[in-house]
Amino acid sequence: MREVLICFLLIFLFSCNHIETGDSLGKSEKEYILRLKLLDENEKIYKFYSEYKVKVAGNFFTDKRIAKYWIDERNKENDHIVFAFYKDIKLIDTVYNAGATYTPYMLITKTDGTTFKVSVNGKKAEVKSFFEDALNMWRQYR
């Protein structure tokens, strides 16, 4: 319960975060994502969203994959780093109205049956654009 309240508080406090393009991310931010092994040298980030700050959380898609990470600054055991290459994605479901305490998300189902969520918040049109662009990339590269 405590974790849910902390997540809600973080989302509420940092709801001013916005969807960025890969071009608007700084060099140090891209290098950080590269160190997390969520990006190859020549891979291009198309859209990126962080629920908090880039060093802690990120949701994005590239020309090769869809990815999400959450880095717990106090306990590395709670880190959550996950991605799927487009060829390994079986299904993408979009949830625009996730309830009062949750942000909209895409539920990524991999061909091995595992799932993960990519959360994105912002203006409705921006969220829709993020989801549609990610779906189009998946359709193009799978």
> What domains appear along the chain, each with residue ranges and CATH number?
2-141 (2.30.29.50)
pLDDT at 55: 87
Length of the chain: 142
* pLDDT at residue 22, rounded to an integer: 80
Half-sphere exposure of 93 (CA within 13 A, CB side): 9
What pTM does this model have? 0.83
pLDDT value of position 18: 76
Question: Which of 71, 69, 85 shows the shortest CA–CA distance to 119?
Answer: 69
Give 19-54 pLDDT, tens digit per residue.
888 888 889 899 999 999 999 989 999 999 998 888
